[in-house]
Amino acid sequence: MGPKMMVSLILLLVGSISADPFEFRSNFEFLDYSTNLDDPKYRLLDTVQPTVVYVDLDVYLRESRFNGLVQITVDVRQNLSQIVLHQNVVEIQGVNVFDANSQPVSLQVNNPFEIDSYYEILTINFDGILAVGTYTISITYLGVINENPIDRGFYKGYYYFGNEKRQYATTQFQPYHARKAFPCFDEPQFKSRFIISITRDSDLSPSFSNMAISETTVISANRTRETFLPTPLVSAYLVAFHVSDFVATNSTSTASKPFQIISRQGPTDQHEYAAEIGLKITNELDTYLDIAYYDMGQGQPMKNDHIALPDFPSGAMENWGMVNYREAYLLYDPNHTNLINKIFIATIMAHELAHKWFGNLVTCFWWSNLWLNESFASFFEYFGAHFADPSLELDEQFVVDYVHSALAWDASASATPMNWTAVADNPSVSSHFSTTSYAKGASVLKMLEHFVGFETFRNALRIYLKNNSYDIGYPEDMYAAFRTAVSQDSTFASDFPNIDIGQVFDSWVQTPGSPVVNVYVNMTSGEIVLTQQRFQLTGTPPSSLWHIPISWTHSGNISFENTRPSLVLSEESVVIHKDPGHHWVMLNIGQSGLYRVNYDDHNWEMIASYLRTNRNDVHKLNRAQIVNDVLFFIRAGTISISRAFDVLSFLKDETDYFVWAGALGQLDWIRSRMEHLPGAYEEFNTYLLDLMEAAIQHVGYNEGSNDTTSTILNRMQILNYACNLGHEGCKTDSLEKWQAFRTNESNLVPVNARRYVYCTGLREGDAADYDFLFEKYNTSENTADMVVMLRALACTKDQASLEHYMFQTMYNDKIRIHDRTNAFQFALLGNRENLPYVLNFLYNNFQAISSSYGGPSRLTIAINALATFLRDFEQISEFQTWLYNNQIALGDSFSAGVNVISSSIANLQWGNNVAVELVTAVRSANNSASSIAVSIVTVLAALTVNLLQ
C-alpha cells in the first residue's frame, strides 16, 4: 500500500473517530499564534492534535538499523506558521504536508524543516499561514536500533539458544523514548490511533505489536511485512513492537479472550504460571472496574500478550495489548523460582494489567501527575493479585511493603509531592518515577478505601474511568468521581458531615512528605490531644496540614476489627475523649492510614508492658507499625533510646512475619552505623541474635508442606539475616544443605532457602565453592534463580574469586546489563571485608564500568551504593582523594561521590552520638546491668579514637 493510499485510509479513520471541537469558531481568534511549541521547549502546546499515526518500519535486525516512514494526521486548531513535534532519530530525510484533499502544502523553500537535537524536536516551517483544519504530515527518516537497552527506545537484546547467540529488537518508550523510533507527539496528553507495519527478515518469527496482525505480505524471498490492526486511542509511549524469533504459548487463551506468553526459544515450559495468574487477574479487574479489557479496542479485537525479555531496562511496561517484562518477572519454574519471585510475577502482572485502565484507557495529562497512572497500578499490583490468589496474603503484605516504603521515603526533607509541578524537562520527568508516584500514591488510595468503604471506593474508580475513557485525566476528575461516589453513600454523609472528600484527597496529593500524629493522653480525665506535623528525620519540618482519617482504640475497650476512621484531623490539633482510666491509646488500626504515631512517654511505657505480655491481642500490622515507627523515631531523635528499646523488647517473643518485616531493615540501619565502633557493634550483634532466637526456633530450618505464604517468607527473611549475623544453627544447617548439593547435584537446595544457603556455602568455603556455583549460574535457564546465584557469588571470601566476580560484572554477557549495578552492590553486601577490593576495582576501572554497565548514570548508581558501606575514616579519606583526582573524568558521577562522602561522615557521626545510650539500652533490655560498665568503657574508648581522627 503506497503513501497516498494510506493517507486516504487515515483520513477515513479520522472522520470516524474524531471531531474538531473548534470547527464552528472564527479563524480570527487564532491569528496571533505561530507555533505549537511551548516554553520550556521540551513540551508542546495542544493546538495541534494527532488523530491517526501510521508507522512503517523496514527493520534490519542484524545491522541494527531501520528505514522509517511516519504519516501523522493532525487537527490544527489555530492558524500556524509552523508545526513542531518530537524526534530523536538518526536522520530526517524528507518532510511533506498534505491538506484534507491530499494536496501538498507549501513549505519554506530554503528552510522547510529544522532539527533541534538538544530539545529533540522537529520544526516544520510553512511558506504561509496554515489555516485551521485537518492535515497529514509525512516524514521519511533513518533510525538505529539502539544496542544499549539502558538507553531505551527501539533497542536490541540477545539470548543464547544452546551455544548459539541470537538477537531480538524490542521497545521501551516510556516516558519520552518513542521519538527514537519515529517522529511523534511524544507526550501523554496526545492520544491517537496507531497503525504499525514492520518489515523484517523472513527467517524470523512473525513480529508482535499492540494489536493483532491484519495483513502479511511477502516482499521478497528474504523479506516479510506485517501490518497490525489500528490501536485504540493511545499515547505514543504505549506503542510497542518486537522483532525476533521468539515463540508464544496459548495455554489459557480462548477465542474471546486471547492470552499469550511469549519468550525466547527454550524456556516455554516456564510460561504456565503467568498464563494462569494473568488471565485470572484480567478477569478480576474486569469485574471490579466494570469495563471489560477485551472490549477496549474501539471496534478492533484486543489481545493480551506478555513478553519475557532477557534484556529490559525496567521491571515491566504496560504497552496496550503487548506488555514487556524483564524475564525474571514473568517466567516461573517451580524447581528454581522462589516464592518471592513467584509473588513478583503475580504482582507485576497485576500492576501492568491495571495500567490498561489507569494509564492506557485514561492517561495522566502530563508526568507531573504520574500518580494518576502509577498509584492505581501499584494499588492493584497487590489487590488485583490478591483477588486472583488470596493465599499469597498480599492484602497484608501491602502494609509492610508499600506503606512502610512510602513513609520511609517521605521522611526525607527533600520529599516531593504526588503532584510535582516542577516536572518540566526530561531529567525531572525521569526522577518523578519514584516511590512518591508508586508506593505513596497506592498507600493514599488504600487509606481512602478504608475511609469511604470498599464499595464507594470502587464506585469512584468506575465513575472516573467511564467519564474519561480514551481521554486524559486530571486530579480534579478523580476528586469529582469521589465526590459523586460518596454523595451516593448515605452513611458517609451521616458519619462525616461537612467533609469534602476531594479536599481530603487533594491534601495528600499536593503536600510533600507524610505526617506524624503526636498523642498525649490524660489518664485522669480521659482527654486525648492529637497534633499533626510533617515527619522528617533531619531539619525543621515546614508547617503542613493534611486531612488525616483517624482510627483508634484503647485498652479499656480493645478493638482492632474496624479500620473505618472515627474522625478526620484537619487542623493542627484536636481533642478527643475516652473514659477516664489508666488505659493505653493506640491509633491507626491495622496501619490503615499513611501516618506515623508518636505517644507521650507514659503511653509508650504502657504499650511496651502490654506487648510483652499480651502482644497477640494487638493486631499484627499495628505491631509492625509500632516497631517501624519507633525505629524511625530513634533515627529522628523524637523518642528516648531507652524507651524505644523498652517498646522493642517484645520482639524477643515475636514470631510473626509482618512484625519482623517492619523491624529488620531499620534494625540493620542502626547496626551498620555502629560498625566503626567495634565494642558497640559486637554488643548490638549479640542483642539482635538474642532478640531473634525465638523467631528462628519458630520458623525452623525446613519448609513444611502446609506452610503459608507468610510462614515461608518469614523463614526466608529471618534465616537470611541470622546467617549474615553468624548464627551458629543457621550456618550449620546451611552448610549441610550446601555440601549435600556439592556432593550430589540432584540434591537441590530447597528453592526458598537458596539465597542464604548459597551465600553461607561460599562465605565459609573456598575458590572451589565459588567455581561450582559460577558454573551453575552460567548454565541456568531460569533468570530469577540466576539473580539469586549472582547475589550469592559475591559472598565469597576468596580474594581471587571476588576479583573474578567483579570483572565478570563487566564482561560476562550472561550477566545482563540491568543486573550489573546490582552485582556491584551484591559484592558489597556479601561480606563487609570485601569493601577494600570493591573500592580498588572502582578506582582502577571506573571508566570501563561506566561503559560496560550501560553509561555514566550506571556508574553513578554504583558509586551511590558505597554510602551504606564506607564505615572507616581512612577509607572515606582515600575515596575522597580518588574522587577529586578524577573529578573531570567522572563527569556527573563526581557529585554523587561528594554526596557519598557527606552521607558516610553523617553515618559515623550518628553512630558516635548514640553509641553510649544505645549500648546502655541494649544491655538493659537484656537485663545484664553488670556488663554495662565494661561495655561503656569499651565504647567510649573507640568513640574517642574516632572523634580524634
The binding site consists of 351, 355, 374
DSSP code of 367?
G
Burial class (CB in 10 A: 0-12, 13-18, 19+), 218: exposed
First and final CA of the chain: distance in angstroms?
76
What is the 3-state secondary structure of 795-841?
CCCCHHHHHHHHHHHHHCCCCCHHHHHHHHHHHHHHCHHHHHHHHHH
Rg (CA), the chain: 30
Using the structure block, give the residue that is written with the C-alpha cell 558501606: 869
The rounded distance, in Å, linking the Cα atoms of 796 and 367 is: 43
* Count of H-run helices and E-run strands, the chain: 30, 30
Annotated binding site for Zn(2+): which residue ranges?
351, 355, 374
Using the structure block, give the residue that is written with the C-alpha cell 491538506: 99
The rounded distance, in Å, linking the Cα atoms of 151 and 64 is: 14
The rounded distance, in Å, linking the Cα atoms of 919 and 645 is: 11
Burial class (CB in 10 A: 0-12, 13-18, 19+), 477: middle
Counting other chains too, the contacts that 729-735 makes at CB distance below 8 Å and 24 or more residues apart are: 729/696, 729/701, 730/696, 730/701, 730/756, 730/760, 731/760, 731/764, 733/701, 734/760, 734/761, 735/760, 735/761, 735/764
The rounded distance, in Å, linking the Cα atoms of 375 and 448 is: 13
Cell of 74: 493532525
Determine phi and psi for 670, rounding to 5 degrees: -65, -45
Residue 164 identity (one-letter amino acid): E
Residue among 120, 352, 393, 683 flagged as catalytic: 352
Determine phi and psi for 220, rounding to 5 degrees: -155, -175
Cβ neighbours for 885, distance < 8 A, ≥ 6 positions apart: none
Cβ neighbours for 212, distance < 8 A, ≥ 6 positions apart: 228, 229, 258, 301, 303
Say if strands 191-201 and 223-228 run parallel, antiparallel, or are unpaired. antiparallel
DSSP secondary structure of 575-596: EEE--SSS--EEESGGG-SS-E
Identify whether the C-beta of residue 355 lies closer than 8 Å to the C-beta of residue 438. no
736 is catalytic: no
Identify the bridge partners of residue 139 per DSSP, sorted by sequence position.
Answer: 70, 95
Signed CA dihedral, 211, 217, 218, 220: sign only: negative
What is the 3-state secondary structure of 599-628?
ECHHHHHHHHHHHHHHHHHCCHHHHHHHHH
Cβ neighbours for 919, distance < 8 A, ≥ 6 positions apart: 679, 680, 683, 684, 932, 935, 936, 939
Residues classed as catalytic: 352
